[in-house]
Structure formats: C-alpha cells, structure tokens
Amino acid sequence: MAMTLGALLDERAGTIAGREDERARLRTLIDPGGPVAAYVYGLAGVGKSTLLHAFAADARATGAVTVTLDAHSMYSTHRSFLAAVAGRDEELEPAEVAAELGARGDTVVLLIDSFELLVMIDRWICREFIPALPANVRVAVAGRTVPAERWRRYGPLLCALPLGNLSPGEAAKLLRENGVEERMVARINSICRGHPLSLQLAAWALRDRPGLALDAIAAGPVADELARVYLDGLEGPIRRALDAAALTRRTTLSLLEAMLPDEDPVAAFHGLRALPFVELDADGLLVHDTIREATAALLRAADPQEYWRLRTAAWGRLRNDLRGAPARDLRRYTADMLYLIEEDAVRDVFFPATDGEQQVSPARESDLEAMAALAPDFELLREWWEAVPEAFVVARCGREGTAGGFAILAEPHTVPARLLDRDPLAGAWRAHLRRDAPPRGQKVLFLRHLVAPYGSAAQAALLIEATRCYFELRPELRRVYAAASDFIGADASCALVLGYLPLEGEPDSVCMDFGASSVDGWLADLGARQQLAADDAGPAVDGLTKLEAEVLAYLQRHEGRPVERAALLRDVWGYDWTGGSNVVEVVVSSLRRKLGDDAGTIATVRGVGYRYGRASSTMLNGVSAARRT
C-alpha cells in the first residue's frame, strides 16, 4: 500500500535535528502519572512548531489521538477558540467541547501553536478550560512568551520547556542534511548561532546561489527574515536602542548613555528589557544571539556611518570604565572589549557558537584527573602542579563542575629553575628572556598550557581569563610567552590580530611584547587598528613607522604638557635615560617632516623636551591611520 501524506509527514517530523531531550520531556505527557500540560516557549524561528509536530508524531505512534490548532486561524475569543477545538463554527458551551474532545480516543493530545496570539484568553484557558477537560486529555502549547505566573499553579503537572538554539553539533547536523559543504558548516553557524530558522535560510541561500559570500548571507537571507518577524515593527527610540545593544556583548546604562547621547538611557534600558528576545542577567542586558547578529548586519548594510559611530562610542566608554574597574569586574570588561574586535578569527575563538559561557576558577587537587586526560604530557603536568599549583585555572562545565579545560599562568620568577630545565618550551622562554631582558621593573607572564577543545566554550573562557590577567598586571606587564599550539589551535590569525608573533628561533612558541605602555598601550593600538580610536585624538598621518606612531601617540596623551626626553625614552623606547643619545631628536625630526602642515603641533620646550598642542580645529582623526600602516 502506498504511503499516505500523513504518514510521510509523521516520518519527516521524526527526523528533526537534535531536540532529543525536549522530545523526551514532552513524551511524559502521555505517560501514566505524567504532567497534564506542556508549555513550549522561545524566540521566533527557534523550532517550536517543528518540535510540536514531532511530539504529535510521537504521540500518534503510541496510539494517541492528536488535535492540532494554529492560533493564526482563530480570533482571541472564547467562541472562536471553542469552535476551533470542536472543528465546527457553532455557538458551543465549554463543557460540550470538553466532552467531545475527550471522547475522540483513549488518550487525546490537544496541541496549540502560536499561543502568544491568544493572550486575551490565556487566563481563561489556563484556569478554566484546561482544568475542566476529561482526565484522558493532555494539552501542549507553543508560544514566544514566557508562561504567565498563573501557569505555576499546575506545579509538577506542567512541563515548562524553554527552547533555545541548537547545540553546535545539532546545528552542524542540520546544515549537512541541507547539503552544506563541510568547510562551510562552522562558519555559517558562527553567523546563525544555532538558530534553526537562520540555519535553514542560510542553507537554502547557498543551495540557490552556491557562490554566495558569508557576509551576504548574514546581511541578506538571515537578517531579512528576522527583520520581517521582529524588527520592522519596533518604534524609533527602541529600534535605535536595539541597534546600539546589538553591537555589544552586554548592554548597560553606561554604554547606552555613551552610544545614544541624545536619548534617555534609563528609558532605553527599560524599553530593551521589555523586548521578548532580551534578557537581564548580572552583566546587564543580553540580546538573543540571532537577533543581535541580524540587527548588526542590517545596521552595517543600511547605515555604516552610524554602525561605526556606535562601536567607537562603546569602545571609548569601555576603555574609560576599565581604568577604574575593580578586579572582580575585569573579566567582564575584558570580554566586552574583545567582543568589539571585528575579526572573524577573534570572534570564533573568544565567542564561539556554543551553549554558553563556562566558569573559570582556581584548580583543585580533585581536578588533576580531568586535567591529565586533556594534557599531552601527564608527567610534566604533575611537575608543574607540584611546583606552582596556584598558577592553574580550570574552565568548569556542567553541574558537577568538571574541568573541561585548563591553563597555567605564572610569572617566571615563581617557577623553580629545575622545572624550567625539565620543560623544553618554558626553558626556551627563559633563554629568550636572558638574551632580551625587559626593562627593570616590568613583568613577564608564562602562559604554559591552555588546553581545551579548539572552538569550545572552555577554550574561550580560558582565553578571556588569560587576557583578564593581563589587565590585572598592568602597567608593569611587558611580555607574554605562550605555546603556539595551545593558544592558537588550528588558526594563527587570532594570535596575529591580538599581537602575538612567532618567537624567533622557537617555532613552537609565540610572544606578545606590549611595549613600554604595557596593556593600555596595546589596547590603544588594538582600537586604532580596528578604527575605534576616539575622533579627537589628533592628526592622521600616513607612512609613519611604528616608533614614530608611538612617539606621536605618547605626546598626544600628554597634550599641552611638556614631556621630557627621559620620559620618552623610558615609556616609548622602554629603557632608562643614559644621556648623550639623540635618538629622540632624530625620530621627532622625521615625525615633523611627515606631519607636513601640522608639524607645528610638536613644539620644542628648551631644556626639557617636547609639547604637543593642536594648531587648528581641523585635526580630528587621530593616529589610527598611522598605526594601521
């Protein structure tokens, strides 16, 4: 006998990507003694309807009768709802409809999709209609909004099921099933963040146009559909606030004030908080990843000038806030700054498309077994543990807090010489330090081991923790040594963007020298390369050497004040004043030639050094162009 369309639909419903745990929880509705109602909720396009249909197929496979309704096909009134349940447009009493529904089979499941459209009768359905149903009826609804407080009265008889994005593995499976080439899978999911509808749209776009660029996917099919679903209906002030929030990792009153100077930040904050795809946590407001990616892509395509203005304002405020941030807040500020670096390599490593952040904490003796399973050399690991256990941190996952990755962060003077003799990598770093010692009083950090699966939440958490340590050690921190394989995984571009370079003569090592300005100078240079430098920093100059750009930047930071030659040598060159050298004069002379008409901004202060002062109001662009050369 030929397969019917209904059987085909049931078969297709049973092959959805992932959602096994969610389907298992829904199946408890048809178990004896299980819950009587289920409430599935989540963002548009996250797969609520697909899950509901899969559960319907599961229920029918057990012999249950299913009645499926879509709220789009009825009005939010008692009469319209009862008519839809009964399957006929008549004036019906609730008791009559309930009895008819219960008589359709031994087990009956009523499924209602798009439940958010029935908000006007939600209270009645919850408190009157469902409690009056026969004992053989179960109800499953799916909507975008969180269940109202009234649903809590069901207690354990309600299966409340928040639906999030697919895990990386489930997303990859969905993309492969839709014909996406393996080499494109991870990159597409880095755009779609596991959002099922976005993944489908991207896969279909590639199928129809195989040569389509990833940027075009982000700004086209994904963003267009989400804009239709959510963004087009937002009023002006809220849409502007969402544009700003979409460019940052988290949104705070301080950031809204800087990014939207003409708006009321408190009103913008509360307006954002009321949106169904925005959550409030300890870090601030968090926009759902998929909406954030789509909103940012639309803004960049439609108004690139505003896009860069907002990012620059956010960078400036974060840098300012970071200076006075207490140690306990350095980790989140670190993540905030890194999120504004618009490089795929950095985003993929520090903010992978995973199930969420992992907590980083000091390692314990009980973590050794889990760390040993990850480490390439257990004996060497144990020697490091016995020597400097306080240098170990782990990224913990799951309720048990198992170590999903670990790192060793130690200053060289804390590591015994015998261990450096035993460890060839750390020994090479010590030899390099002896050949090229940093100036007196400046610190060095060994990042010996950062072990976690590449592209995992554990790796991201540990890298952010390492960067947090850099901020904690400023302004003395001068240099960081790391194992190339541990730090950069399969892709060297992330390390290069951040400033790590291969260590000369040591192919297995990378090193970052922050310069005399330590981490703050590195951060300023990073912002300049990302075109996030403040607009009023000074004249933009092409063709400067790195040293010339650093001298100009140092003078600009001390604008209007005399700067001694000794200070320039100490803070830019990184060495104590020895007297008699004219290296400062040579660099300043070359710098003035390249400044051309703006040469007068650097004035000589007789017997002292130099003073920077802008000669006209037309000098607005800073040294970002100089640093990019």
Rounded mean pLDDT, 552-562: 80
Q: Which pLDDT score is estimated for 483? A: 87
pLDDT at residue 490 greater than cutoff 80: no
Shortest CA distance to 298 belongs to which of 234, 202, 222? 222
Q: Which pLDDT score is estimated for 622? A: 35
Its CATH class, for the domain covering 533-628, is mainly alpha
pLDDT at residue 552 greater than cutoff 80: yes
Rounded mean pLDDT, 31-38: 92
Q: Which pLDDT score is estimated for 108? A: 96
Q: Which pLDDT score is estimated for 619? A: 31
Q: Which pLDDT score is estimated for 537? A: 43
Q: Which pLDDT score is estimated for 99? A: 95
Amino acid residing at 562: P
Helix/strand/coil (H/E/C) assignment for every residue in 291-337: HHHHHHHHHHHHCHHHHHHHHHHHHHHHHHHHHCCCHHHHHHHHHHH
CA gap 218, 197 in Å, rounded: 13
Contact at 8 Å (CB) between 595 and 507? no
Shortest CA distance to 371 belongs to which of 390, 395, 391? 395
Strand, helix or coil for residue 429: helix
Rounded mean pLDDT, 298-307: 88
Q: Which pLDDT score is estimated for 587? A: 84
Its CATH class, for the domain covering 359-522, is alpha beta
Picking from 59-73, 264-278, 560-574, 606-620, which range would have the lowest pLDDT averaged per residue? 606-620
CATH (one of 3.10.20.30, 1.10.540.10, 3.40.630.30, 3.40.50.300) for 5-162: 3.40.50.300
Pairing assessment for the beta strands 158-162 and 65-70 based on DSSP bridges? unpaired
pLDDT at residue 287 greater than cutoff 60: yes
Structure tokens at 174: 């969905």
Q: 293 pLDDT band (50/70/90 cuts)?
A: confident
Cα angle: 149, vertex 150, 152; to 5 degrees: 75
Q: How far is CA 198 from CA 46, 146, 166, 190, 222, in A?
A: 9, 22, 11, 11, 5
Structure tokens at 598: 């703006």
pLDDT at residue 89 greater than cutoff 70: yes
Q: Which pLDDT score is estimated for 487? A: 58
Note the pLDDT tens digit of each residue in 448-477.
988 888 778 888 889 889 989 998 888 899
pTM of the model: 0.64
pLDDT at residue 514 greater than cutoff 60: yes
The residue among 589 and 530 whose pLDDT is bigger is 589
Domain limits, the chain:
5-162, 168-230, 233-324, 359-522, 533-628
Q: How far is CA 249 from CA 335, 355, 525, in A?
A: 8, 15, 21
